[in-house]
Amino acid sequence: MIEFRTVRKQYDDGAVAVQELSLTVRAGTVTALVGPSGCGKTTLLRMVNRMIEPSSGTVLLDGHDVRDSDPAVLRRGIGYVIQQAGLFPHRTVRDNVATVPMLFGRSRRRARRDAEELIERVGLSREMGGRYPSQLSGGQQQRVGVARALAADPPVLLMDEPFSAVDPVVRAGLQDELMRLQEELGKTVLFVTHDIDEAIKLGDRVAVLRQGGHLAQYAPPEELLARPADDFVTSFVGRDRGYRRLSFVDSAGLDPAPVDTVHIGDTSADVPSRAEWVLALDAHERPRGWLHPNATVRGQLTEDQLIAGGSLHTLGSPLRGALDAALSAPSGLGVVVDGDGGFVGVVTARHVLDLIEARQHPALTEGAA
Amino acid sequence: MFEPLVRYFSSPSNREVLFEQFAQHVYMALVPLVVGVLLALPLGRLAQRVRWLRAPLLGGAGIVYTLPSLAVFVLLPSLIGTGYTSPLNVIIALTLYTAALLVRPVLDALEAVPSHVTTAAEALGYRPRRRFLSVELPLAVPALTSAVRVASVSNISLISVGALIGVGGLGRLFTVGFERPDVVQTVVGIVATVLLALAVDLLLVGLWRLLTPWERAGGAVIGE
């Protein structure tokens, strides 16, 4: 657990980076610190491992004032991931990951062996261990950065905009990977970002900071989207928050309806012409695309005769995906799949909206019915 | 044209003088190089860490380097009580020159270490001294190498000046060659000096390659 107790940071030139701020990060959870530049989020983060000392107030780590620990020893017990990864260019990936265990005095051999396991754990191949950081892509370097931070198995992880220097696709992959790792490891994570979407995606709780180090709101992401504390948070959270909040609404009660299906490779005889959209599946029952109403199939049904489908909604995942599946499908029918990608049924946007309204105004819908 | 050379080298005393002065030259060149680098490292580090010391350190180094070498060779004995022809005068003077020449490159090389790397080192729990020795210094080597190579060549040529005040080294071949006069002796001295400079330079390049394997780690980046 990390506790900030009325911490304040004022620099010698009078600039106030953090203004009497209190905040608790519960053990085993991810707290995202988010805000515009100059809001003191990195300052706050660095108070935890004493890279910055507060002017007043205390920071407690599992109930102990961090000032009672020797800074270097304290830092070895806290994982740290930095923007651009901060890997040592003169050391191989393996030796980068082995850094902290070796600072702890573990033998080089043991540290390297453990490092190789970690390299695999963050989704890289073992052979990467012998490479130098310059031979890795930005995303791979970040993975190594995470592996290095985890090497001594610290209970607390500090992450300072770790994914901001990579492109959006790679970033999304790294975020998913981090969530998967966190599921396994259950670290106490303090994550600094300027990207509200990243904060909402990764944080169990999100702390929105305002310029000058004021805490504007500290709440779980769905609450942040549903009830922003003030105009600043509202504008910072940004557009589409009603829609984005659906990411936190589960889709229980959404019953997919059946739809006519055909299979790739079926002959024209199996595909009677009809005035409805028909969903094409592959041999594993996975959706491949739509067959336009009245489309005639000559010979065998092949993929190039299909119209690309929309996004897929996985059964049991949040409602946002279901609505998006319906809105993005050419047929207006959102395709629902199971965990293995197999076809389950379809939902319409109307279907999803009715469910949302029923959740928001249960009495009203009941009365109408 | 080789005849005078053959005659020169056929004399055992000539060969003995050449080897003796060559060894002396190597000694007087390498000791100041090593000690100068060892002095410049902490001074450059100091200039990097202590802001207000930066200007006086760099200024002082600049002044030291502009002192005429012959004057220093002549003045040192009266300042530190060494004999007038002691090689120590040359060694101390060249050590000062080397250190003075390298303070700024050391500073620049340390400043060029990316801040995210030093920050990461701090955050992972390196204490300052270990961080300097095992992270910053190795990363400064590539930027430092060229300056050290200049210093080594400059030392090797400056030692010749020492011959004017009677200190050994290949410069002795120039002074003797000039007095006699003996062109062959002078030419041998020049060639030996150049060969020595080249050899030391090659040695430094080899050392640099040994110390910076990551600089030549080739191979394309493997995709995500």
Which position has the higher pLDDT, B77 or A322? A322
- Which residues sit opposite A16 in a β-bridge? A10
Give residue B223's pLDDT: 47
- Give me the sign of the Cα torsion angle A152, A156, A158, A159: positive
Identify the band that residue A362 occupies on the pLDDT scale cut at 50, 70 and 90.
low
Give residue A155's pLDDT: 94
Tell me, yes or no, whether B82 lies in a domain: yes
Give residue B119's pLDDT: 94
CATH code for the domain of A130: 3.40.50.300
Indicate the pairing of strand A188-193 with strand A156-160: parallel
Asked whether the beta carbons of A48 and A128 are under 8 A apart, the reply is no
Contact B116 A85 (CB under 8 A): yes
Tell me, yes or no, whether A112 lies in a domain: yes
Tell me, yes or no, whether B178 lies in a domain: yes
How many structural domains are present in chain B? 1
Tell me, yes or no, whether B219 lies in a domain: no
Give residue A363's pLDDT: 55
Contact A75 B125 (CB under 8 A): yes
B147 CB-side CA count, 13 A: 22
The helix or strand, by DSSP H or E, that contains position B193, with its residue range, turns out to be helix B183-211
DSSP three-state, residue A139 = helix
Give residue B56's pLDDT: 94
Asked whether the beta carbons of A275 and A291 are under 8 A apart, the reply is no
Give residue A307's pLDDT: 87
Q: How far is A115 from chain B (nearest CA, A)?
A: 15
Q: Which two tokens stand for residue B209?
A: 């390659």
Which of A82, A99, A139 lies nearest to residue B224, judging by beta carbons? A139
Tell me, yes or no, whether B188 lies in a domain: yes
* CA distance readout (Å), A366 to A42, A250, A353, A362: 49, 20, 15, 6
Contact A76 B219 (CB under 8 A): no
Tell me, yes or no, whether B99 lies in a domain: yes
Q: Which two tokens stand for residue B81?
A: 């009580």
Tell me, yes or no, whether A7 lies in a domain: yes
In terms of domains, do A106 and A202 share one? yes
Q: Is A212 left (phi over 0), alpha (psi -120 to 50) or beta?
A: left
In terms of domains, do A214 and A301 share one? no
Q: How far apart are CA A25 and CA A245, in angstroms?
A: 23
Tell me, yes or no, whether B115 lies in a domain: yes
- CA nearest B138 in A: which residue? A90
Q: How far apart are CA A10 and CA A8, in angstroms?
A: 7
Contact B117 A89 (CB under 8 A): yes
In terms of domains, do A157 and A93 share one? yes
In terms of domains, do A214 and A270 share one? no
What is the CA angle A21-A22-A24, rounded to 5? 140
pLDDT along chain B (224 residues), means of 10: 81 85 90 95 94 94 88 85 82 92 95 93 94 94 92 89 80 82 85 92 93 78 49
In terms of domains, do A21 and A140 share one? yes
In terms of domains, do A198 and A270 share one? no
Identify the band that residue A369 occupies on the pLDDT scale cut at 50, 70 and 90.
very low
Give residue B2's pLDDT: 78
* DSSP one-letter code for B213: G
Indicate the pairing of strand A205-210 with strand A30-34: parallel
Q: How far is B119 from chain A (nearest CA, A)?
A: 8
Give residue A291's pLDDT: 87
Tell me, yes or no, whether A109 lies in a domain: yes
CB atoms within 10 A of CB A298: 9
Note the maximum CA span of chain A: 82
Please return the burial class of B82, using the count of CB atoms within 10 Å of its CB with bins 0-12, 13-18 and 19+: middle
In terms of domains, do A155 and A199 share one? yes
Q: How far apart are CA B90 and CA B74, in angstroms?
A: 10
Q: How far is A324 from chain B (nearest CA, A)?
A: 27
How many structural domains are present in chain A? 2
The predicted model gives A327-341 an average pLDDT of 91
Give residue B219's pLDDT: 56
What is the CA angle A332-A338-A339, rounded to 5? 130
In terms of domains, do A76 and A132 share one? yes
In terms of domains, do A227 and A120 share one? yes
Please return the burial class of A45, using the count of CB atoms within 10 Å of its CB with bins 0-12, 13-18 and 19+: buried
Among A95, A135, A137, smallest CA distance to A119 is for A95
Tell me, yes or no, whether A369 lies in a domain: no
Q: How far is B184 from chain A (nearest CA, A)?
A: 49
- pLDDT per residue over A242-287, tens digit each? 888 888 888 888 889 898 888 888 887 777 667 788 898 998 999 9
Boundary-marking domain end, from A243, A277, A304 = A243
Give residue A367's pLDDT: 45
Structural domain of residue B47, as residue ranges?
3-212
Tell me, yes or no, whether A53 lies in a domain: yes
Contacts of residue B122 in chain A, CB cutoff 8 Å?
51, 75
Q: Reply yes or no: is the peptide bond before residue A36 cis, omega within 30 of 0.
A: no
The helix or strand, by DSSP H or E, that contains position A304, with its residue range, turns out to be none
- pLDDT per residue over A104-130, tens digit each? 999 999 999 999 999 999 989 998 999
- CA nearest A166 in B: which residue? B224
Tell me, yes or no, whether B221 lies in a domain: no
In terms of domains, do A226 and A267 share one? no
Tell me, yes or no, whether A251 lies in a domain: no
Mutant choice from A50, A83, A90 vs B, greatest count of B C-beta within 10 A: A90
CATH code for the domain of B141: 1.10.3720.10
B26 CB-side CA count, 13 A: 13
DSSP three-state, residue A295 = coil
Boundary-marking domain end, from A243, A270, A285 = A243
In terms of domains, do A17 and A128 share one? yes
Phi and psi angles of residue B117, each rounded to the nearest 5 degrees, phi first: -75, -45
Q: Which two tokens stand for residue A296?
A: 């005639």
The chain B residues in contact with chain A (CB within 8 A) are 114, 116-117, 119-127, 135, 138-139, 212, 214, 217-224
Structural domain of residue A346, as residue ranges?
261-358
Indicate the pairing of strand A334-337 with strand A343-347: antiparallel
DSSP three-state, residue A19 = strand
DSSP three-state, residue A153 = coil
Tell me, yes or no, whether B194 lies in a domain: yes
In terms of domains, do A159 and A274 share one? no
Give residue B1's pLDDT: 65
Q: How far is A317 from chain B (nearest CA, A)?
A: 26
Q: What is the dihedral of CA B216, B31, B135, B118, to 10 degrees?
A: -110
Contacts of residue A100 in chain B, CB cutoff 8 Å?
124-125
Q: How far apart are CA B173 and CA B22, in angstroms?
A: 10
Phi and psi angles of residue A28, each rounded to the nearest 5 degrees, phi first: 80, 10
The predicted model gives A319-346 an average pLDDT of 91
